[in-house]
Structure formats: structure tokens, C-alpha cells
Amino acid sequence: MSLKTLLQGKTHKFVDDITTDYIIAGKHRSKAENVLDLKDYVFNEIRPGFAGSVTRGDIIVAGHNFGCGSSREHAATLIRACGIDAVLAKSFARIFYRNAINIGLPVIECDTDLIGEGDLLQVDLKSGTVKNLSTGAATSFKPIPASLKVILEAGGLVNHLTRTT
């Protein structure tokens, strides 16, 4: 699996402090033997039907502290399983950030104020730019560190370690 460096998708906008329990509530863990079978419950507590509204390639946009709370690695895995190609936020909880990188989900810290619900975004991971194709607004972000980019390029940490050992 190679990392797509030019992403384009419709946005799903969230506020600050989105917890891993909002992403996938703990009460759903017993409903499936395979974690991927839980994808229909993603954001069900705060946005029922979210998974059904996602088109492959869509992008989550949020405020500060996205992925805070418990260290539920299923949160990042299930966001990816829904078809989300990237998460942009003003800041991330560090555990969520690393979990996302480790499963091959690009997470980008940038200004999200000029992005609205349903906007069409283009994210260029090479140049570090985000263009809002709906409004014409643009912003930039710091490049993903090289040590993490190689993990993303491999499709996640397990794939990266398999290739390098």
C-alpha cells in the first residue's frame, strides 16, 4: 500500500475535545468479534448515522484536542474503516495521533477555522497545503516528520516493520 499524497474529499466537521468514546463508545465493543464490524457505530453517540454519510476519501476536520480520552486504538482504526482518508485538527491527543499514524491514517495539525461542514478539500501531503475548493481559502501545515511519514507510506506500523525486518 502506498500513501496517496494528494487527497480530496468532502468534510465532516467536529468541535473541540472529541473523545475516543465519542468516536466509538465502549458499550459497542461486545457487539462484534472483529473490530472492523463496529464501523457503523463510529460517532454514533454524537452524530448518529455518521458512517453511512461517509464517501470513501472524505476528510474529518476538527478543533483542538481531537482523540482525547482513553487510548482506544479502535478509534483510529474505525475512522479509517469508514472510508476517511485523513483527519485535520488544530491539535490532537498524542495517543490518538500515534495510533492513527500506526494504522496508516494521515493526521494533520492545521488551522481549520476556514473549513465548514461539507466543504470540498484538497490536501497535498507533499507541499503541506490544504485548499478549500468550496470557498477558495487555503492554509498550510508543517510537513509530517520523516520518521512518521515512512510509517504512513508503508500503510501503517505493522507493514513498515514487516518491510524493514
pLDDT above 60 for 1: no
pLDDT digits (tens, 9 = 90+) for 29-50: 777 778 888 999 999 999 999 9
CATH class of 6-164: alpha beta
Higher pLDDT, residue 118 or 165: 118
pLDDT value for 162: 86
C-alpha cell at 148: 512518521
Q: Domain segments of the chain: what residues? A: 6-164
Q: Name the residue type at position 45.
A: E
Q: Mean pLDDT in the chain? A: 94
77-128: per-residue pLDDT in tens? 999 999 999 999 999 999 999 999 999 999 999 999 999 999 999 999 999 9
